[in-house]
Structure 1
Amino acid sequence: MNINQFPIITVIFRGFSKDQVMIAIEELEKSRREYAVEITLNSPDAFTTIKAASKKYGKRMWIGAGTVKNLDEAKIAIDSGARFVLSPIALDRETLNYCKNHGVLTVPSGLTPTEVWKLVEDGADIIKVFPAASIAIDHMKALKGPLGDLPLMAVGGINKNNAKAYLMNGAKYLGVGSSLFKKEDIEHKNIEGLKQSLRAFEEAIN
């Protein structure tokens, strides 16, 4: 695990089948920009999808598990091939340590200075600031004032219109979900639609 190699943008897939996700990942892989891929555990057959994506793309892309809430879920995700785990909550130290001992990068969530700093002290690699859209866009810059240059990831409400602004206001990483690809394009495996959406996103943030 090398956090310096972790991509700036993580693409979140929630609620899609293995075949749907694999088609979308293929378009991401063709891009000149590097992406990490998060498959949330509240998706159908999530561990099967993680395993398939890791087997096919894991040597060239970061494939991880999202919506991980406890140690048991983290263990299964890691056994399925996840190289990183994200959570909508502050994972406990036991889970963070288990991931670290298995070379898996951790991205638990915090919002307040106290929550964020507790996760730093517990050994989190990246802190997911969630839901980002519910707070001021300069919230992460404000956190860094007293706490230092922390590796913060903005997640929740990130889209092509505000992504660059978050990166300019304290976020080192972004998690982008439903705003990147149209749901119907993923569901119907519309490759041209996926390409157009990805192109529009990349043009907006470059």
Structure 2
Amino acid sequence: MKLKDYPRFTIIMRGYTFQQADAILKAMKSLENDFAVEMTLNTPDVLSQIKQLTEKYGKTIHIGAGTVRTMKDVKEAVQAGAEFLLGPHIFTKEMLNYAKQHGVLAVPAAMTPSEINEMFDLGADIVKIFPASVVSPRFFKDVQAPLGKLPLMGVGGISVENAQAFFENGASYLGLGSGMFNKSDLESLDSDKLAESMQKLLSKVEGVGV
């Protein structure tokens, strides 16, 4: 996968059933250029779910793995068909190299200018600022003043309400987890309502930070 093809939004699917994940991907019809999905590796039966979802939707939707923490995680996720890997902390050089060798985007997390700089130096494609709500939207603007424009992703506490502020302050990408959908829509597998939630987010940030 190439960085230029990576959508602005990543939906984080943590602990969802296969049916719930399937309903979310169904809801993404015509929104594939705006959203990617990551299934976290601490979700039950995750590798087989990534494999099945990739077989079903992989031609149109970018599907990756989240909560990637070790070299073992990297290898298993890549073998299952993940197109990108998100972590909750920095990646080792070995992890970044393996992702690059297999054409998979690597998105380690960082929280300081030094960690951000180190990850890009070692070959990260995007650096995830986590938890983003702790450092605030302004952090993205302030850190890029000395470091220059960077592909940074805000994750952790991102919502429909604050997404615009993060883009206005220089975030290039955002990841949304439990705040993305109404719980009842997920429980009832209502793809139409799930799609409405995605459209609502897109309309909130229309024309911002592009």
Q: Match of 2:64, as an amino acid?
A: G
Question: 2:77 is paired with a residue of what secondary structure?
Answer: helix
Q: What is the distance in 1 between the residues matched to 2:69 and 2:180?
A: 25
Q: What pairs up with 1:33-182 in 2 under 5 angstroms?
A: 33-182=33-182
Paired-residue identity, %: 41
Give 1:32 shift.
6.9
In the alignment, structure 1 segments of 5+ residues that lack a partner are none
Change (3 A) 1:100 1:32: closer
Q: Match of 2:112, as an amino acid?
A: T
| Partner residue, 1:197 | 197
Q: Which moved more, 1:93-102 or 1:50-59?
A: 50-59
Is the CA contact (8 Å cut-off) linking 1:18 and 1:49 kept in structure 2? Answer: yes
Is the CA contact (8 Å cut-off) linking 2:32 and 2:61 kept in structure 1? Answer: no
TM-score normalised by L of structure 1:
0.95
Is the CA contact (8 Å cut-off) linking 1:16 and 1:187 kept in structure 2? Answer: no
Question: 2:55 is paired with a residue of what secondary structure?
Answer: helix
Is the CA contact (8 Å cut-off) linking 2:27 and 2:192 kept in structure 1? Answer: no
Q: What is the distance in 1 between the residues matched to 2:195 and 2:85?
A: 27
* Number of positions where the alignment pairs a residue of Structure 1 with one of Structure 2: 206
Is the CA contact (8 Å cut-off) linking 1:9 and 1:175 kept in structure 2? Answer: yes
Q: Which moved more, 1:83-92 or 1:47-56?
A: 47-56
Q: What is the distance in 2 between the residues matched to 1:14 and 1:205?
A: 24
Q: Match of 1:2, as an amino acid?
A: K
Q: Match of 1:161, as an amino acid?
A: E
Q: What is the distance in 2 between the residues matched to 1:31 and 1:106?
A: 23
Q: Match of 2:185, as an amino acid?
A: D
In the alignment, structure 2 segments of 5+ residues that lack a partner are none
Is the CA contact (8 Å cut-off) linking 1:128 and 1:152 kept in structure 2? Answer: yes
TM-score normalised by L of structure 2:
0.94
Q: What is the distance in 2 between the residues matched to 1:123 and 1:31?
A: 29
Structure 1 residues 96-118: Cα deviation after superposition (integer angstroms, max 9, x where no partner): 10010000000000110111001
Q: Match of 1:169, as an amino acid?
A: N
Q: What is the distance in 1 between the residues matched to 2:18 and 2:134?
A: 31
